[in-house]
């Protein structure tokens, strides 16, 4: 008997039925082995067969690209059950090359990531696709658009506004060109980024604070702070100061998040102080006081400290020491520390200056350790490990050093124990969500399902959660026009930005998100 194994099954027949045996090339045989492997769900093995049959890098890459293009839809369909090793092989076959990957393969890779609930990777991959591709391939744009909209909903549900905004920018590439051109916000954001990239920072900042701020204050403010930080590394403070002060003042009366407005004012005051524009800096601090009294008071003290320091000779160590003491009384930290460090070279001031430095450093260490402890209480163990380890590298042995070590070890243990319990916890979460869905409590189930999809991305549990989520949303759809899960509690200032993002989506697609 002859036994032939094919992607669709096994065929057997008597040896006498064989008329002849023909030998194909290694490449043809490799292609057959690849088809057989992918038929069994082994994408990594299929790619390995193609690589082994093609010695030349250029021909090998072409063979892999052709294979992936022909099986793209099947790969996307089976993405949820793809093993981690197959996923890695798939990613490398597309990304690991000297030139940019073909747009068609980037789209396939992005769609696979979306199927595995990797929304960040999905958006990042598709942002690499040139906008012209979508205009030339409207069927692909039609397929991808609802997935992009879903990614925006996922990001907003998790309060990740920055990533939601990136997804909106992707949506503006995917949707019809007419919609993109009519969207003033998207156009002006892109224009501001273009101006900043070409070094025209003042024009970019004026565009954001002028015509864009009234339309989308939260988004405009975030872009303004980003571009302002870029500008400080390129332009001289004296050239940047007038524009920075004008821009910060224009955002004071907007509905942008208050923390962002305070941060922008503080960054502007620092620029004004560095250029010795003390009167302007004081006026900016006064305006900040109307917005947030404590922050404004601190900045007023910082301006006054800088003014007094400018009147003191560098060699007058006693006056600098006295100014530092005044700065501590006013609640300042960094400025007094510099002056105490300078005063240490004086024999008469050395002992007192070193004592003051120790007190300042202890106060700073205490504040930093309190922040790390809050992270631990919120179960942000990887961040605790990173910050606690950095803290111990910068400090000497003592109570704070020891306490940071305790938080470090506790976090490591929690992560290790968490991995052991993660599977059981995922099953428990899924069962709880299923119980809520069966009871018709879909709005309560959706946040749990979102958490499962994020924490267990790519697993069978995540796939089941995705299926259950669709059922829950469909049930909500029958009762209400809204299918989105209620977002977790967040700061009111972030809600303003979310409304702006939803408004952008509606302008682009002509329908609410």
Q: What are phi and psi of 167, to 5 degrees?
A: -65, -35
pLDDT reported for residue 341: 92
Residues above pLDDT 70, as percent of the chain: 86
Return the structure tokens found at 209: 């604070």
pLDDT reported for residue 482: 44
Helices 350-377 and 381-394: crossing angle in degrees, nearest 10, is 170
Query: Range of 460's domain?
Result: 424-509
- Please check whether residue 478 lies inside any domain of the structure: yes
pLDDT reported for residue 7: 62
- Please check whether residue 340 lies inside any domain of the structure: no
pLDDT-based confidence at 182, cuts 50/70/90? very low
- Please check whether residue 486 lies inside any domain of the structure: yes
- Residue with the bigger pLDDT between 473 and 274: it is 274
For residue 340, pLDDT beyond 50 = yes
Whether this prediction's pTM lies above 0.85 is answered by no
Question: Tens digits of per-residue pLDDT, 195-254?
Answer: 888 888 888 888 888 877 777 788 888 888 888 888 888 888 888 888 888 888 888 878
- Please check whether residue 1 lies inside any domain of the structure: no
Alpha helices in 330-380 (DSSP H): 334-343, 350-377
Alpha helices in 40-101 (DSSP H): 43-53, 57-70, 72-77, 84-95
pLDDT reported for residue 33: 60
Question: Which of 237-246, 321-330, 416-425, 488-497 is the most confident on average?
Answer: 321-330
- Please check whether residue 450 lies inside any domain of the structure: yes
Q: State the CB neighbour count (10 A cutoff) for residue 19.
A: 6
Residue 375 in contact with residue 387, Cβ under 8 Å?
Answer: yes
For residue 478, pLDDT beyond 90 = no
- Please check whether residue 434 lies inside any domain of the structure: yes
Q: Into how many domains does the chain fold?
A: 1
- Please check whether residue 504 lies inside any domain of the structure: yes
Residues 6+ apart with CB under 8 A from 184: 215
Question: Tens digits of per-residue pLDDT, 299-312?
Answer: 999 999 999 999 99
For residue 487, pLDDT beyond 60 = no
Question: Tens digits of per-residue pLDDT, 91-105?
Answer: 888 888 878 889 999
- 181-194 in b/e form (b: 16+ CB < 10 A) is eebebbebbeebbe
For residue 176, pLDDT beyond 60 = yes
- Please check whether residue 470 lies inside any domain of the structure: yes
């Amino acid at each position: 008997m002859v036994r032939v194994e094919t992607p669709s099954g096994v065929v057997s027949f008597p040896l006498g039925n064989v008329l002849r045996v023909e030998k194909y090339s290694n490449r043809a045989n490799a292609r057959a082995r690849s088809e057989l492997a992918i038929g069994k769900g082994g994408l990594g093995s299929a790619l390995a067969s193609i690589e082994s049959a093609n010695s030349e890098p250029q021909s090998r890459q072409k063979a892999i690209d052709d294979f992936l293009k022909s099986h793209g839809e099947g790969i996307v369909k089976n993405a949820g059950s793809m093993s981690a090793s197959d996923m890695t092989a798939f990613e490398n076959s597309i990304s690991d090359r000297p030139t940019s990957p073909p747009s068609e393969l980037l789209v396939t890779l992005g769609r696979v990531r979306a199927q595995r609930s990797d929304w960040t990777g999905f958006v990042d991959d598709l942002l690499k696709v040139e906008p012209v591709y979508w205009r030339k391939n409207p069927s692909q744009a039609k397929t991808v658009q609802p997935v992009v909209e879903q990614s925006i909903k996922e990001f907003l549900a998790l309060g990740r506004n920055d990533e939601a905004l990136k997804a909106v920018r992707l949506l503006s590439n995917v949707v019809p060109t007419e919609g993109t051109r009519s969207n003033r916000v998207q156009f002006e954001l892109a224009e501001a980024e273009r101006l900043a990239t070409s070094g025209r920072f003042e024009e970019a900042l004026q565009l954001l604070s002028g015509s864009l701020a009234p339309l989308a204050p939260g988004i405009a403010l975030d872009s303004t702070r980003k571009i302002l930080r870029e500008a400080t590394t390129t332009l001289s403070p004296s050239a940047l100061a007038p524009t920075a002060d004008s821009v910060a003042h224009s955002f004071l009366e907007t509905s942008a998040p208050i923390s962002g407005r305070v941060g922008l004012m503080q960054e502007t005051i620092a620029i004004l102080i560095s250029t010795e524009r003390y009167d302007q800096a004081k006026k900016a601090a006064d305006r900040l006081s109307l917005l947030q009294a404590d922050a404004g008071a601190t900045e007023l003290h910082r301006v006054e400290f800088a003014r007094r320091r400018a009147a003191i000779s560098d060699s007058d160590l006693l006056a600098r020491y006295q100014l530092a003491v005044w700065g501590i009384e006013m609640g300042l930290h960094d400025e007094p520390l510099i002056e105490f460090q300078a005063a240490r070279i004086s024999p008469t001031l050395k002992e007192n200056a070193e004592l003051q430095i120790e007190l300042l450093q202890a106060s700073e260490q205490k504040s930093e350790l309190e922040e790390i402890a809050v992270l631990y209480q919120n179960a942000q163990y990887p961040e605790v490990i990173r910050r606690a380890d950095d803290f111990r590298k910068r400090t000497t042995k003592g109570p704070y050093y020891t306490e940071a070590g305790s938080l470090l070890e506790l976090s490591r243990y929690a992560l290790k124990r968490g991995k052991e319990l993660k599977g059981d916890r995922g099953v428990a979460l899924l069962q709880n969500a299923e119980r809520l869905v069966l009871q018709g409590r879909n709005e309560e189930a959706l946040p749990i399902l979102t958490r499962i999809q994020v924490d267990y991305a790519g697993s069978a549990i995540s796939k089941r959660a995705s299926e259950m989520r669709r059922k829950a949303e469909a049930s909500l759809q029958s009762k209400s026009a809204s299918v989105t899960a209620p977002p977790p509690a967040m700061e009111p200032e972030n809600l303003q930005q979310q409304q702006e993002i939803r408004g952008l989506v509606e302008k682009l697609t002509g329908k609410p998100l």
